[in-house]
Amino acid sequence: MHRGYALAQDYLARGDREKARQTLAAFLNLWKDADANLRLRKKALELQAQLSR
């Protein structure tokens, strides 16, 4: 697992949704050109959607 994704999950578990959102956004920015079928990228996008609610 990539540390950016894991860090975002940790922030979310601690209740810091804004920090989780920022960390995840940075992670996804780095992975923006990655294969859309990569499982980790899909999971990160799902988490991003969760944080947007």
Chain segment 1-53, per-residue pLDDT in tens = 689 999 999 999 999 999 999 999 999 999 999 999 999 999 999 999 999 98
Determine the pLDDT at residue 33: 94
Which pLDDT does position 12 carry in this prediction?
96
Q: How far apart are CA 14 and CA 12, in angstroms?
A: 5
Neighbour tally for 30: CB within 10 Å: 11
Q: Domains in the chain: how many in total? A: 1
Where in the sequence is the domain holding 45, given as residue range(s)?
A: 3-52
Of 41, 53, 32, 49, nearest to 5 by C-alpha is 41
pTM: 0.86
The per-residue pLDDT for 39 is: 95
The letter for the amino acid at 52 is S
For 13, the enclosing helix (H) or strand (E) is helix 3-13
Q: Give the pLDDT of residue 51.
A: 93
